Amino acid sequence: MLRTSIIKENTPEIISSLKKKNFDGQKIIKKIIETDNIRIKIQKELNSLQNHMNSLSKEIGICFAKNNKEKAEKLKSESGKLKILIQTKNDEQKIAIKKINQLLIQIPNIANKNVPIGNTEKENEIIKNFGTIPKLEKSKLPHWELAKKYDIIDFEKGNIITGAGFPLYKNKGAKLQRSLINFFLDFNISNGYTEYLPPQLVNEASAFGTGNFPDKEGQMYHIEKDDLYLIPTAEVPLTNIFRNEIINSVNLPIKLTAYTPCFRREAGSYGKNVRGLNRLHQFDKVEIVQLAHPEKSYSNLKEMVKHISNLLEELKLPFRLVKLCGGDLSFSSALTYDFEVFSAGQNKWLEVSSVSNFESFQATRTNIKFREDSNLNFCHTLNGSALALPRIMAAILENNQTESGIKIPESLYKYTGFKMIS
């Protein structure tokens, strides 16, 4: 959420940054500024009325103490009138604040100046390619065929148990999944991230805090009976650990990591994009989150990008780093890099990580501040997948397929206890 004070101070810059995200903010921002000026006017009036009321009440108290009932009654009738005025002003103020907030939450985060202009993923900027794309036999298979061949993922049983998009891992497939989780967590921990195992259901305030609610409400599973949401990513509980907190600046950056299953309704998805492990309703992911000093958040972002590159290099997977254009940027993000792994069985790039700087957008919604000397300011929040499991699994299966089976990346040996799936 943007703050009214910032909007007022940088109106033209904000409107033009929002354009990059294909958001026309002209009207809504004008409305916010107008309403805020009304709010200030109301508050001034209200404060002076309240001030008057407070001194009257004190006086009445003194009159009673001195047994001067006559004067007390007279003052009482005066304050009665004031009371009605105050109530009216109070209601007006509440309405104005509510109106401003309703407008503010509709505005996406502004794009960083380095975000490329563009409307769709076609205009994303490919920064760099890493690794080499494997040359496979003509008989190469996509991962869903391989999964069947080696009996490691049962999609049909998942359909029976739950429905489409809920795969059932088994045998070495289950072990490989568990190994990847542990490998990612250990790698993150050894780079200074603190491990958490958070709740997988969150309340509305938490979902609001990270910007998933109300904007992407339809993408989350909602438990109506208890009014809770299944997390679409560990970002939601991790960021909300610090909701309404003031952090001492010496403790920044705070670095967190967590493994959680993630649940997404993926309303509107169809076709080959949802084949196999490509897009699921439930999947495993290890996430990293940072709470950062505003002046350092972009170097922290760089560090996170490097960290994720290292992780993918450990797995010997070919990948590319992509900078998202304005139109492809999410509601809350100011700058996002995607990591895409090349999966040779399908001949396509699969997004396995998305690393973003949200600047103070989420911190404003969650009210996470830091204290430096005697000043209070909003933190910056950042997060990234390190990494999302299913597509990594898909790429490992597809890229490492051989006549004799699937080769496990060396870094995983100590976790899997086996070197081949055959």
Partner RNA sequence: GGAGAGAUGGCAGAGUGGUCGAAUGCGGUGGUCUUGAAAACCAUUGUACCGAAAGGUACCGGGGGUUCGAAUCCCUCUCUCUCCGCCA
Name which of 48 and 129 has its Cβ closer to RNA: 48
Q: Scan for tokens 């989350």, then name that residue.
A: 220
Q: Which is nearer to RNA, 174 or 246 (CB)?
A: 246
Distance in Å, CB of 241 to RNA, minimum: 15
CB nearer RNA, residue 43 or residue 309? 43
Strand, coil or helix: 277:
coil
Contacts of 156 (CB under 8 A, 6+ apart): none
Q: Which is nearer to RNA, 68 or 182 (CB)?
A: 68
Cis status, amide bond into 294, omega within 30 of 0? no
Integer Cα distance of 153 and 355 in angstroms: 28
List of residues contacting RNA (CB under 7 A): 5, 40, 43-44, 46-48, 50-51, 53-58, 60-62, 64-65, 76, 79-80, 83, 94, 246, 369, 371, 376
Is the Cβ of residue 47 or residue 249 nearer to RNA in the bound state? 47
Q: 256 near 381, Cβ under 8 Å?
A: no
Phi and psi (nearest 5°) for 18? -70, -30
Smallest distance from RNA to CB 195, Å: 21
Shorter beta-carbon distance to RNA: residue 78 or 215: 78
Residue 186 CB, shortest distance to RNA, in Å, is 27
Q: Least CB distance from residue 37 to RNA, whole Å? A: 9
In whole angstroms, how close is the CB of 43 to RNA at the nearest point?
5
Closest approach of RNA to the CB of residue 224, in Å: 14
The pair phi, psi for residue 38, each rounded to 5°, is -65, -45
Distance CA 42, CA 300 (A): 42
Q: Are strands 254-263 and 194-196 parallel, antiparallel or unpaired?
A: parallel
- State the burial class of residue 251 (Cβ atoms within 10 Å of its Cβ: 0-12, 13-18, 19+): exposed
